[in-house]
Amino acid sequence: MIKIVILLLFYFTFPLVIIYLVKKWTFFRKLGTIALAYAFGLILGSSGILPQGSETYRSALQGRMALPEEEVKLLLTSGKITEDDVFVNRLSASQDMMLSIIVPLAFPLLLFSLDFKKWLRYAKEGLLSMVLAVISIIIIIGSGYFIFRNIVPDCWKVAGMLVGVYTGGTANMASLKVAMDVDPNLFLMSNTYDIIMGAATLIFFITIGPKIFRAILPPFRRIEATGGDVENEAPSENFDDFSGILEKKRIIPLLGAFGMSVVIFLIAFGASLLLPGVPQNVVVILGITTLAILCSFIKWFNRIEKSFQTGMYLIIVFSFAVASMANLGVIFSIGFLGLFAYVFFAYFGSILLHLLLSKIFRINADDYLITTTAFIYSPPFVPVVAAAMKNKDVIITGITVGILGYVIGNYLGVLVGYFLKGI
């Protein structure tokens, strides 16, 4: 238990080192805190320092972060897993709990300072980008089915899961596994390939991606308070500027903002318990977003200095922790080349087709990138990419798209899967 506590404390304190590096050296400043958090996290996860558990234990996970205690006891009693696996499971459960709490607490802090009225003038283009993304996903995965159906076992099920994961995220993929009775090994391999490609793409998105997409697509048109359009890709606020955050004049307001974040999280979580028929993560994120936006209309919350940066600190913690849970070495131990090819085709094909359609319909680069992020990675990663773009005006668009993705992911996955099966 002590080891787990030390690791969790390390997750929360190491970002201070990252912030120091960004402030001290120009090279790290160009990379940004988020990119560094992922880089250091991947190094930690692939170093072998953190225990990974046995192959039997990893197979039993079937895409879950950790196993229920009852299942762990049963596997341990039957001799299928060891005490080391039990420790790994407790560690994974603690990591999952931390990640599940951190993002809901960060969201309100990020949203308090946003101008929702101004966002309404951005919304149309962002939602059009979402529609184009859905069309791209269905076209590419559907066409990929006809290419790979004689190579990939139960290809229609894989197609359904891929539609679900690229509109709603991993939670939808896991739901579709149950809905379509997908073989555990097929699910594990599909999920693993998706994670590997997702990790590589995310690094691209938070480093050179924004610059490349801005060279291809129209620039984001920022709207000033007066209502005029200004062609400017980035707001003046520095996402990585944490200086003065601990000054006496800011501490009390920030504590108040954090306290309200806790209250908002508890209310949203409580609401999710009252709606058992609705996916909990949808209710929680939707509730948090709604309440935080309402608070943003209150001047006291909207004008709290450094509330956005406080939320970003939690996002850095999240980024570092998530990356540390990935082991890049796993790519060399996976078979099923045909499945890999299909996932590769679906993943990058949908991104490129969405890019082409965005070019045709003149979607700006920032909305394209944030809607792509929201679909592929889900809402928690929206602030990560927004920070890389230095544009917080697209955060609400990303979160809205991500929530809608949660809602439609299962429906689209089942619909596309069974439609392809019937052809």
pLDDT at res. 230: 44
Q: Given the structure tokens 């097929």, which residue do they identify? A: 186
- Positive or negative: CA dihedral 62, 63, 66, 69: negative
pLDDT at res. 229: 46
Tokens of 156: 């229609």
For the chain, domain boundaries: 2-235+245-422
Tell whether pTM > 0.75.
no
pLDDT at res. 419: 94
pLDDT at res. 210: 93
Element (H, E) at 282: helix 280-296
pLDDT at res. 223: 60
Q: Which of 393, 17, 22, 12 is nearest to 241 (CA)?
A: 22
Give me the residues of the chain with pLDDT under 50, please. 225-237, 332-334
pLDDT at res. 350: 96
pLDDT at res. 330: 54
pLDDT at res. 204: 92
Instruction: Give the rounded distance of the alpha carbon of 313 from its chain centre.
Output: 16
DSSP one-letter code for 61: H
Tokens of 215: 């060279």
Cβ–Cβ < 8 Å for 36, 28? yes
pLDDT digits (tens, 9 = 90+) for 201-211: 988 998 899 99
pLDDT at res. 236: 34
Residues in the chain: 423
pLDDT at res. 327: 62
pLDDT at res. 235: 38
Where in 288-399 does DSSP place strands (E)? none
Cβ atoms within 10 A of the Cβ of 382, count?
26
CA angle 201, 348, 190 (to 5 degrees): 85
146/392 Cα distance (integer angstroms): 40
